[in-house]
Structure 1
Amino acid sequence: MVSLYLPLWPTERIRKKLGNAAPETPLALAGREGSRRVVMSADLAARKIGVTPGIPVAKAQALYPDLTIMDADPDGDRAGLEALALWFQRRIAPIVAVDASGGLPDGIVMDTTGTDHLHGGEPAMLDAVVRRLADSGFTAKVTIAGTWGAAHALARYGRGRIIIVPDGGIPDTLSNLPIEALRLPAAVIEGLRTLGISRIGKLAAMPRAPLTLRFGPELERRLDQAYGRIAEPILAVRPVDPVSVARNFAEPIGAAETIARYIGKLVPVLCEGLDARGDGIRLLDLLLHRLDSQTQTIRIATARPARDAKHLTRLLCEKIETIDPGYGIERMELVAVLAEPMEVRQRVSSLIEEEEADISGLIDTLANRVGGESLYRFAPVESDIPERSVCRVPALAPDDGATWPVGWPRPTRLLSRPEPVQAMAELPDQPPIFFIWRGIRHRVRCADGPERVFGEWWKGDTELTIARDYFRIEDTAGDRFWVFREGDGEHGETGSQRWFMHGLFA
């Protein structure tokens, strides 16, 4: 389970809505608690001067007269979180919901079981989530753990921007957290602190019967959910009016062959619904609801809108081996998370014109095996700087008409970063006589160049004067390289005059 905590969501959402006007000015959002008007949320600048949620607005204005106070909008906050949850559902995992289990909605919860490998693993996935939100102006903390309760607690009370709890590590990580992390009612928290119980570890070690008798079953339920003793299902958000089909079973199923058979029955029905709308699948979720209230998921994506029942069935059935049916599956549901209008294509009618091969099926098969981000092609970018002249695009991205430079040959393999080499050459514009790269000495037999490349001055002052001189060189063993000198060989402001390896020719 992944818990994404957005501690400043209300104020940051307002700032983004207003265009980040005066970000250095403290901002607080006010609402009513009974007859009092209190601060409901405050940004970092406001908290630094002592304005925290819960204090009266009059006191906040006394602390800082220039404090900007606006009305809180809890409905707008929740609607924004639901939109964010739908965004994550389309890009990260099929089971995503707004997390309001602690009272007010303040984050997102996701079940990423079986999908994290599609995003480079758990650390890469969580880091990408936090960075993407930070780029959009939102502060975020994220935790992945075996249970929703543990992930929720650590995201809000743990230390660190990203926390990954290893298997079996929940008891140790929860033991030192305050009891407020268990999402208990305020009255229960107050009663426990009266008894001198302030940490989860101490609470978990106490006898259950007296606690249940005094505080009710909610206390033990939250403890069991955090430690994984009982399930805590997630009610996932759903797109507006999605195309979906479902099948309930009188007797639970679990065999792979049975699951495949019912997939083959549900997919054609789903495709009929899509056909009526003129849409095709781009993102399809198969939800398998087990008897123990757990949900297993399979997600497939397509490079182009598709509603070929056989193709979609094959993609889903390839992932059946990832399903754990547990004690049995009682409900199977197919949901078209993302559907787009189907492209209408003119079939070839000429006897001499050849029909373009459609490789979208192959792309879908490979992408669902290794992950969509691992399948791409290179496209040219208009830039004289070699490392900026190429980018990754989806395998079936349309051609934008850009072409590679034809005047100067480019290496077959371009290094992601130029690597320094030791070289001897005559200045200002002669190629190296020999060079040492990765500990191996190469003697140059012939060379062509220099090709001078200047910096892109419009991107920054540091590139106003820099220059590179590129050479295509061949050593005595017949290997060909692409090296450059940083600078023009005469003026120090153009570069360090050091040599670098940037590519290899076939």
Structure 2
Amino acid sequence: MIAGRVGNRRVLTAVDEAAQGSGLRVGMPVSTAQALVPGLVIVPADPVADAASLERLAIWVMQRVSPVVAPDPPDGIVLDTSGADHLQGGEAAMLEALVGRLVLSGVTARAAIADTWGAAHALARHAAEPVFIAALGTTARVLAPLPFRALRLPPATVADLSALGFTRIGDLLGQPRAPLTRRFGPDLCRRLDQALGEAAEPIEPIRPEGLVEVRRVFAEPIAAAETIARSIGKLVVALCEQLEVRGLGARRLDLLCHRIDNDLQIVRIGLARPVRDPQPLTRLLCARIETIDPGLGIEIMVLAATLAEPLTPRQAASLLEKPAPDLAGLIDTLANRVGSRAVYRIAPVPSDVPERSVRRISALAEPTDAGWPDHWPRPARLLPRPEPIETLALLPDHPPTWFAWKGVRRRVCRADGPERIFGEWWTRDAERTSVRDYFRVEDEAGQRYWIYRAGDGEDAATGSQRWFLHGVFG
């Protein structure tokens, strides 16, 4: 348990699951907790260290997810993912990847996406299990069943609302604002309006020390695409000059466009390798101009190299050597159009089980030492999961005479196999005796498939004896 001071009282500020099962809760006096659980181990709170850790986490998220990130004390961060979620494969994939990486790092996390900071704050703490995505325009509906403390209200206000018979946020949505303001002050209605999007709550993004960034402030707001493109070009040149002085190349660029109505338009691009050549950087940023809504005009533009790595000039080995083709520009263009997760290479993994024998690596990653198996052909297309098929085969070693897949019955004209693959007993106990018998079969149309039987065809302990289609040859 972690204990700190609230006024003159020493109370619990963090409680784990085991303690919650014993009746302890956040805000309980330490003396009461020690009486309920004798021998309770209590660690004093360190707010300064907690704030520093939260700031480091916010910087980590800024470099990997979104350029607009800020700490949301005491236990959260807030980010604006507009213009950046496409690089992560969409909102759902972005949240799943973010929470997953935090869990792998030992950090328990819950996350939510909503129209406003206040709504996301409430949903992440009271609705996410471990993630929650509120559809556009549904803020009031998803907030209605949540408790009042989700609105970031003082404990005294929450207690007074409960005493008056209010139990959830939905009880306040139809109430007149004037009596609420007279009774509870301006904070209640302000927090409610912020959560519903009726009052602005801008995010002041964190800016780590040493961040390379440049900005332009316009005497008159700009809105035309041609003017925005010219300004981007000037910003990129200035940024590359700073990167050259520091010996760095950009791996991720963030363009922040501040409109005169306090709205923020964000463009994020990723790069496969460090770059500080203004021409390709300008081209990639200008390709995203169509995603910028200038509104009534942009008054400030900021360009930052959120992620930068050392970049030193390399000398060619010989003038007679033909340089290797540079695919970085093509990969950058594709990744910023369809998302970085959609552009990758396949690398072999030393495993006989087909679905475990490959992994995704970066498109420009260095070659791995592992090689592909060459004793049996492998299909060009491996299905994400083996799909069940209906067959007729003579057990135990003969291939099917026909099989039905996706409602289409195919007669087998040629077949090769079986290739027996044993389970990896060191992975899990269920694979100690399991086997698969794979066959390469060809139908009347000349299409070749990779099918297998789960089991050896005789012993039920080796598998279910059902047939599956696992791949298609090109």
Task: Tell me which interval the TM-score lies in, with the shorter structure as reference length.
Answer: over 0.9
- 1:494 equivalent to 2:462? Answer yes
Task: Please point out which of 47, 58, 78 is paired with 1:74.
Answer: 47
- 1:356 equivalent to 2:312? Answer no
- Residues 176 and 442 from structure 1, CA distance in 2 versus in 1: closer, same or farther, beyond 3 angstroms? closer
- Give the structure 2 partner of residue 456 of structure 1: 424
Task: Please point out which of 395, 398, 410 is paired with 1:442.
Answer: 410
- Report the CA distance between 1:377 and its aligned residue: 1.6
**Equivalent residues in 2 for 1:250-265 (5 A)?**
250-265=219-234
Q: State percent identity of aligned pairs.
A: 59
- Give the structure 2 partner of residue 119 of structure 1: 88
Give the alignment's TM-score, normalised by structure 2.
0.92
- 1:55 equivalent to 2:55? Answer no
Deviations 1:5-45 (A, max 9, x none): xxxxxxxxxxxxxxxxxxxxxxx111234444322211111
- 1:419 equivalent to 2:392? Answer no
- Residues 93 and 383 from structure 1, CA distance in 2 versus in 1: closer, same or farther, beyond 3 angstroms? same
- Report the CA distance between 1:264 and its aligned residue: 0.8
Question: Partner amino acid for 2:422?
Answer: F
Task: Please point out which of 119, 123, 129 is paired with 1:154.
Answer: 123
**Equivalent residues in 2 for 1:95-494 (5 A)?**
95-100=68-73, 105-158=74-127, 161-189=130-158, 192=161, 199-213=168-182, 215-342=184-311, 344-351=313-320, 353-494=321-462
- Report the CA distance between 1:216 and its aligned residue: 4.2
- Report the CA distance between 1:361 and its aligned residue: 0.7
1:180 and 1:445 map into 2 onto residues whose CA distance is 69
1:166 and 1:446 map into 2 onto residues whose CA distance is 52
- Residues 195 and 492 from structure 1, CA distance in 2 versus in 1: closer, same or farther, beyond 3 angstroms? closer
Q: Is the 8 A contact 1:348 1:354 kept in 2?
A: no
Question: Partner amino acid for 1:397?
Answer: A
- Report the CA distance between 1:382 and its aligned residue: 1.0
- Residues 437 and 188 from structure 1, CA distance in 2 versus in 1: closer, same or farther, beyond 3 angstroms? closer
Q: Which runs of 4+ in 1 moved over 6 A?
A: none
Deviations 1:81-120 (A, max 9, x none): 22222222122211111113xxxx1211111112233333
Q: Is the 8 A contact 1:481 1:504 kept in 2?
A: yes
Q: Is the 8 A contact 2:389 2:469 kept in 1?
A: yes
Q: Is the 8 A contact 1:244 1:335 kept in 2?
A: yes
Q: Is the 8 A contact 1:118 1:373 kept in 2?
A: yes
Q: Is the 8 A contact 1:292 1:327 kept in 2?
A: yes
In structure 1, runs of 5+ residues without a counterpart are: 1-27
- Report the CA distance between 1:196 and its aligned residue: 5.2
- Report the CA distance between 1:56 and its aligned residue: 2.3
2:388 and 2:257 map into 1 onto residues whose CA distance is 54
- Residues 195 and 383 from structure 1, CA distance in 2 versus in 1: closer, same or farther, beyond 3 angstroms? closer
- Report the CA distance between 1:419 and its aligned residue: 2.0
Indicate the SS of the match to 2:365: coil
- Give the structure 2 partner of residue 46 of structure 1: 19
- Residues 204 and 413 from structure 1, CA distance in 2 versus in 1: closer, same or farther, beyond 3 angstroms? closer
In structure 2, runs of 5+ residues without a counterpart are: none
1:498 and 1:75 map into 2 onto residues whose CA distance is 60
- Report the CA distance between 1:302 and its aligned residue: 0.2
Q: Is the 8 A contact 2:89 2:340 kept in 1?
A: no
Q: Is the 8 A contact 2:353 2:423 kept in 1?
A: yes
Q: Is the 8 A contact 1:118 1:370 kept in 2?
A: yes
Q: Is the 8 A contact 1:38 1:55 kept in 2?
A: yes
Indicate the SS of the match to 2:229: helix
Q: Is the 8 A contact 1:242 1:337 kept in 2?
A: yes
Question: Partner amino acid for 2:27?
Answer: G
2:165 and 2:463 map into 1 onto residues whose CA distance is 67
CA RMSD between the two structures: 2.3
- Residues 187 and 53 from structure 1, CA distance in 2 versus in 1: closer, same or farther, beyond 3 angstroms? closer
- Residues 477 and 35 from structure 1, CA distance in 2 versus in 1: closer, same or farther, beyond 3 angstroms? closer
Give the alignment's TM-score, normalised by structure 1.
0.87
Q: Is the 8 A contact 1:231 1:294 kept in 2?
A: no
